[in-house]
Amino acid sequence: MTERIIDKTAAALAEDIREGRLTSVEVTRAFLDRIAAVDGEIKAFTTVDAEGALAQAAEVDAKLKAGEELSPLAGVPIAVKDLFVTKGLRTTASSKMLEEWIPPYDGTIVERVRAAGLPILGKTNLDEFAMGSSTEYSAFGATKNPWDTDRIPGGSGGGSSAAVAAKMAPLALGTDTGGSIRQPGAVTGTFGGKPTYGSNSRYGVIAFSSSLDTPGPVTRTVLDGALLNEVISGHDPKDSTSIPQDVRPVADAAREGSGGDLSGVTLGVVKEFAEGSAQGAEPGVIEAYQAGVEQLVKLGATVKEISAPHFAYALPTYYLIAPSEASSNLARYDSVRYGLRVGDDGDNSLEQVMSKTREAGFGPEVKRRIILGTYALSAGYIDQFYGQAQKVRTLIKRDFEAAFAEVDALVSPTTPFIAFPFGSRTADPYQMYLSDLYTIPSNLYGGPAVSVPAGLSEGMPVGLQVMGPVMRDEVCYRVAAALESTQSPILAETAPEAEEA
């Protein structure tokens, strides 16, 4: 069987386009066709912009023909999580609140993606305002996992991971507040990278929790993730929390890692995670993860047990900080300047219209977190709640720093369980929150962390997480690419072939 365009990696497609073997229009059309064929079933996209994508592709082709020097991913199309603001292209955050919002501006990362010549295929589904771990909280219906359409594709960025896993896009953008890039990556057998907080601009990314939100790449391979991250990362003067330094080159690290040599690299496993795993991690997940670690040892890495005593507090810390910030960030959806308005019948006051709009426009999980956050910030509690949580963050950060004095990176399962069936965890919010048990510490610390496929459990993908020191994203890419070099054949052979309609 000849390799189809949609089977190729982004790096390979970029080279084909650069070398003139394919045009961007051909490539873009192939993915649009694939979307048309399988997205009726998978429902990864909230909006598909075929016309816009083809126009951008034609532009890139013209530029290449004219001999213009373009970015390393020029011409390769991309899917964008519907949390990124796109000028002239509907941006919903998968909420009824913004169902018809057409933004008048582009966010910084979208600007960079456009400038680099990556046609935007469309916007992908998510848990409403990125709050969730399954995309079941999307106002437009859940996205399905291409490996098993009765199961969740992870969340909040389940649309992006499913689009990549089902080969509807070679590249996608995600955002990671507590694991929303890595956990969907793990459960769909794709790569997800959460960069160092502050290395990728948040300007134009709809805010969930400002001190945690981190945009990053969702791809099939580690190298593709690295190439995409290099397109989007770097200082942005429009984001006051953007670090005024360049991230170290991650693509080179990915190439180095794919050589399969990890000699001299010391990896840490977190003792407290192992203890915590007894409470919830599935044996199959632990097994696949441990097999992954053994592979890394075979490649020359040394493994060491590390104690991070405050990781035990990561989940409660996160569930104080994220809702607090969210309750404030989401106050702007009030029916005045944009978005939904309900109940403006001439009798209701503005306050009533606001309350009715927010009641109708937000789904249950968003409301729950707004109430939680409002409570956590309300009079007399700020020091007990938000203040204390930000201090515990410091202790978690110190645990990481102490660990990185001894090891180059930490490894863990990405998520305690494989993709679960729809509806199995929505009744109890805490069961859903457990999905992010292993991913949350890196968000609180701010350092980079990636999830890379590490085998299967019950026929479903399992992810291995690599966590690195702040601004040392390249370490994660190197280790992940090394593991990928041992794993990808397994995945490639068993990866799902979504049925084309």
Residues that are catalytic = 81, 156, 180
Secondary structure (DSSP) of 426-479: SS-HHHHHGGGTTTHHHHHH---EEEEEEEEETTEEEEEEEE--TT-HHHHHHH
| Percentage helix, strand, coil for the chain under 3-state DSSP, each rounded to 5 | 45, 15, 40
For other proteins, the closer of residues 107 and 155 by Cβ is 107
Parallel/antiparallel/unpaired status of strands 409-413 and 302-306: unpaired
Q: What is the C-alpha to C-alpha distance for residues 9 and 27, in angstroms, rounded to an integer?
A: 12
Closest CA to 404 of 286, 277, 270: 270
Structure-token pair, residue 193: 């990278």
Find the shortest distance in angstroms from Cβ 205 to other proteins: 6
Burial level of 25, CB count in 10 A (0-12/13-18/19+)? buried
For other proteins, the closer of residues 86 and 258 by Cβ is 86
Q: What is the C-alpha to C-alpha distance for residues 13 and 75, in angstroms, rounded to an integer?
A: 8
For residue 92, the 8-state DSSP code is -
Q: Report the amino acid identity of residue 12.
A: A
Q: What is the C-alpha to C-alpha distance for residues 193 and 208, in angstroms, rounded to an integer?
A: 18
Q: Let me know how long the chain is.
A: 501
For other proteins, the closer of residues 272 and 287 by Cβ is 272
Parallel/antiparallel/unpaired status of strands 78-81 and 120-124: parallel
Q: What is the C-alpha to C-alpha distance for residues 393 and 324, in angstroms, rounded to an integer?
A: 15
For other proteins, the closer of residues 26 and 272 by Cβ is 272
Q: What is the C-alpha to C-alpha distance for residues 57 and 143, in angstroms, rounded to an integer?
A: 27
Residue with token string 């084909």: 16
Find the shortest distance in angstroms from Cβ 122 to other proteins: 18
Beta-carbon contacts of 25 under 8 Å, excluding residues fewer than 6 positions away, are 54, 57, 58, 61
First CA to last CA across the chain, in angstroms?
20
Q: What is the C-alpha to C-alpha distance for residues 36 and 345, in angstroms, rounded to an integer?
A: 40
Three-class DSSP category at 375: helix
Residue with token string 């771990």: 133
Q: Using alpha carbons only, what angle is made at residue 21 by residues 16 and 22, rounded to the nearest 5 degrees?
A: 75
